[in-house]
Structure 1
């Protein structure tokens, strides 16, 4: 079980895989941050931790059931000449769920709903229902993560440790990212648009039409940098007007 400890290649795989798992978890953090923003302030941190804990558990369980994972690629049925496997079906349904949920959150933003702790919308947000929604998307986001892990490492312990370290880093980053998104509505709207694009990419991948996530991440990163410049400019202008 611990033979990998003396293998330099396993350590390289561990560090590389950990970095990739953190990158692949960005969309997961953003989705969780936006969902928990519908909760009262005192419940948000626990929801973030539980949500990311569910993400880690899902990834580890999928890794430990590799035989089942391999069967997910067997075709179940065909749509317009395209074979649809269990994995494809999960990606399509998960992508549609992500698109609909993100669009609904955008609608809340357009209507002007706030995230104030005393707001009726926040009070009505169901804690358990939000955790269920997080768990559903964790399964979808975990597929990419697990497939990457299986492709990069041969030792199950290396994969599990990489996932645990990555989720630990994500737990530390979740609150500052969530607070930043909550305090900057334009960034939140960009994040929601980003999640809709991720949803479209997942649906496309389910139909065997690969949309490189790197392109989406690059476009989103550029948009965020531009918006950060705009935020800084608005703050400077507000100071000058005072």
Structure 2
């Protein structure tokens, strides 16, 4: 058990440059929230629902993170900062990272039955600050959800989702990155190439504008003698 705890703390430290030691990681509210959830989920599985809720209630007061006891969470789940909410039927894979104020929320079932209402988050997913992932959808492996994105549809493996309602960017994460990206938002070479394309478009528009101005000036110069001759007559 101690080895598993050390491995978990090391996995958090690998994703966050702030802590200088494992002891610092132990002060993180997200680490405590996951620990309390392990207890609450064990009680929930044993159908001791009231006790599970008590543990969940204490955890929410202590960490400002609300994880329903019924949620299923894999290995090395890291919540960086607090104020996140994870619903009852949410399923989270291994090595998932979420930042503050994230909601893994449910939708109201049309048939009136509980059922699967919350998302399934696959392995190695990163969810940025303030993102809302809603409904019984699946977020594919290694996907990235950008800050404040609202996701209500299936997310392909390796996709990067941004916006309201979230859409996939033109940066295919599955082709150029296999490792952890802080905050779930890539900003290296692919973005740089996109910026270069933007600069090229701006330069092209500026050149066209200069050409149009030159043509307008030439037309004015041609009309000026005609105006003068008309005035002399």
TM-score (ref. length: structure 2): 0.30
Larger Rg: 2
Higher strand share: 2
Instruction: Tell me which of the two structures has the higher relative contact order, counting C-alpha pairs closer than 8 angstroms and 6 or more residues apart.
Output: 1
**Structure in which a larger fraction of residues adopt helix:** 1
TM-score (norm 1): 0.29
